[in-house]
Amino acid sequence: MSKGGRGNGSKAKLRSFLTANVGKVFDSDTLREVADSSEWARRIRELRNEEGYNIHTHNDDSSLKPGEYKLVDLKIRPAFARGISKETRAFVLDRNGFTCQMCGAVAGEAHPYDDQGRKVRLQIGHIIDKSMGGTDDATNLRAICSVCNEGAKNLTLPRPDWLKLGAQIRRAPGDVQVQALDWLIQKYPKQAAAIIKKHE
């Protein structure tokens, strides 16, 4: 298949559907159904960034809600080649603690906001979209789960400070507090050992 292939895959289905419905707004559920693939959001990004289709989201058009998409016209814009190396992807995932930077979900765990009970799959997302002048530099990249990337829950939650987080932990049942402690010890073993030694 040629670049930007015109076959029967999910990207071809989305391309055909959107070009037949220029100017109409569709939600993520409709596009997932059209693509018949869980990778539909990636295919939308490929159409937009690699093939140059003028597909808008709420980041481009304030009249659109999170999770809504619209092919504005059939004018093809300059396309962006893939430019994120495996090394950069690995660095960003590690830097972000293998945690979605929008909702806080952790890779491999059951997603707290997914009604279908899927496990968290992390992707690399741009903070400033490439179509808006963003780059593939690690400073403009973040780990983001597939649910947030699809736009279904595209709301950035504020990071809690210790006052708020501590209050939540103190309110939690004892077994949940122990789970939080266990997670912290695994994440920060050297610091945990130093704190334990300090209090012996």
Banded pLDDT at 154 (limits 50, 70, 90): very low
Give yes or no for a contact between 185 and 193, defined as CB atoms under 8 angstroms apart.
no
Give tens-digit pLDDT for 69-107: 999 999 887 655 556 888 898 999 999 989 888 888 888
Lowest-confidence segment of 1-10, 93-102, 144-153, 156-165 by average pLDDT = 1-10
What pLDDT shows up at residue 13? 93
CB neighbour burial string for 92-106, b if at least 16 within 10 angstroms, e if fewer: bbeebeebbbbbebb
Residue 7 pLDDT greater than 70, yes or no:
no
What pLDDT shows up at residue 19? 95
Please name every residue paired with 142 in a beta bridge, in sequence order, or none if there are none.
Answer: 125
The reported pTM is 0.44
- In percent, the amount of the chain with pLDDT more than 70 equals 86
Distance, CA of 127 to CA of 27 (rounded, Å):
22
Distance, CA of 80 to CA of 5 (rounded, Å):
16
Give tens-digit pLDDT for 22-40: 999 999 999 999 999 888 8
Residue 153 pLDDT greater than 50, yes or no:
no
Quick one: CA torsion of 123, 127, 131, 136, rounded to 10 degrees? -70
Distance, CA of 98 to CA of 93 (rounded, Å):
5
Average pLDDT over all residues of the chain: 82
What pLDDT shows up at residue 79? 59
What lies within 8 Å, CB to CB, of 103 at 6+ separation is: 112, 113, 145, 147, 148, 153, 155, 157
Give the DSSP H or E segment for 126. Answer: strand 122-126
Banded pLDDT at 123 (limits 50, 70, 90): confident
Exposed, middle or buried: residue 170 (CB in 10 Å: 0-12, 13-18, 19+)?
exposed
